[in-house]
Amino acid sequence: MINATIEPSALCGPPPSAEDVVFREVQAVADFNFGEKVASVFDDMLGRSVPFYQEIQRMIAEMAADFAIDGTNLYDLGCSTGNTLLNLDASVAKGVKFIGIDYSEAMLRHCRQKLAERGLQHDHELICADLNHGVCIQNASMVLMVLTLQFVRPLYRDTLIEAILRGLNENGCLILVEKVLGEDSVFNRLFIKYYYDLKKRHGYTEMEIAKKREALENVLVPYKLLENREMLLRAGFRYVDVFFKWYNFCGIIAVK
Ligand SMILES: C[S@@+](CC[C@H](N)C(=O)[O-])C[C@H]1O[C@@H](n2cnc3c(N)ncnc32)[C@H](O)[C@@H]1O
């Protein structure tokens, strides 16, 4: 039997936005995009779609307290509505500048408003740019890509990772959180089933799940965990380790 109640982990997720009903009434499924329709319900979508989102955020803040250095920049690539930047405000040294980058004007609008409402303390800048075209990273002690590299076209991923590495200071780190494929198709099938079960527990219907899956096809292109690890080592990161894993989701930290 399906347990349709929302789990406590979802309730203590990001601050509530309007309920995500993006795929409830859609008839013809188009490619997923990060326009206003998604941006306005995005925080609800995160809390109900990303396993342990709040714990991942807590871990990132814990690591940022050690890696983000006064007088340097911290980049959040694919900053969306600003949850990660807000989450880091209390734990990161005050002399670190926050730079959020996203290609969705709608996301940045919501982000700007939320940072202002919540009174983000750190000096910060929000930039609208497409990561498929590369990125200019300077004097960075930390770069975050939380569920964003999976949306960058595979053709451009190596170049982007190399640009991030170039812009990081020695001992700086990249935090990568991604949806991943299982290393073997047997696990992949199971992991996807368990993931859809989580979405059902968080109140999504079978139809909503199926429509979103179709919309994300060719838009969200996951690698295997080991493929992500290889890409980071190939670019020249010295140390790479996994700090989070839940079925088809993982968190990786890589140090220059
Ligand atoms: C799943 S969301 C990231 C969630 C966010 N990092 C967080 O933890 O709250 C992915 C974000 O990446 C952005 N994005 C996707 N592809 C992008 C690209 N090529 N260039 C810049 N931003 C991109 C989207 O607009 C969206 O805001």
- Residue 51 makes CB contacts below 8 A (sequence gap 6+) with 9, 195, 198, 246, 247, 249
Residue closest via CA to ligand 1's atom 9 equals: 83
- Main-chain phi, psi angles of 65, to 5 degrees: -60, -30
Q: Is residue 81 within 8 Å of residue 43, measured between CB atoms?
A: yes
pLDDT of res. 202: 95
Residue 150: CB within 6 Å of ligand 1?
no
pLDDT of res. 32: 76
**pLDDT tens, position by position, 182-237:** 999 999 999 999 999 999 999 989 998 989 898 899 899 999 999 999 999 999 99
Ligand 1 pocket: which of 148, 174, 218, 219 to mutate (most atoms <8 Å of CB)? 148
Of the candidates 150, 138, 158, the residue with the CA atom closest to the CA atom of residue 176: 150
Nearest atom (ligand 1) to Cα of 50: 1
**C-alpha of residue 94 to centroid of ligand 1, in Å:** 25
Average pLDDT of the residues in 166-191:
96
pLDDT of res. 26: 65
pLDDT of res. 24: 67
Six-digit token pair at 215? 């919309």
Residue 180: CB within 6 Å of ligand 1?
no
The band of 28, judged by pLDDT with boundaries at 50, 70 and 90, is low
Residue 40: CB within 6 Å of ligand 1?
no
The band of 21, judged by pLDDT with boundaries at 50, 70 and 90, is low
**pLDDT tens, position by position, 101-156:** 999 999 999 999 999 999 999 999 999 999 999 999 999 999 999 999 999 999 99
**pLDDT tens, position by position, 51-77:** 999 999 999 999 999 999 999 999 999
- Main-chain phi, psi angles of 110, to 5 degrees: -65, -40
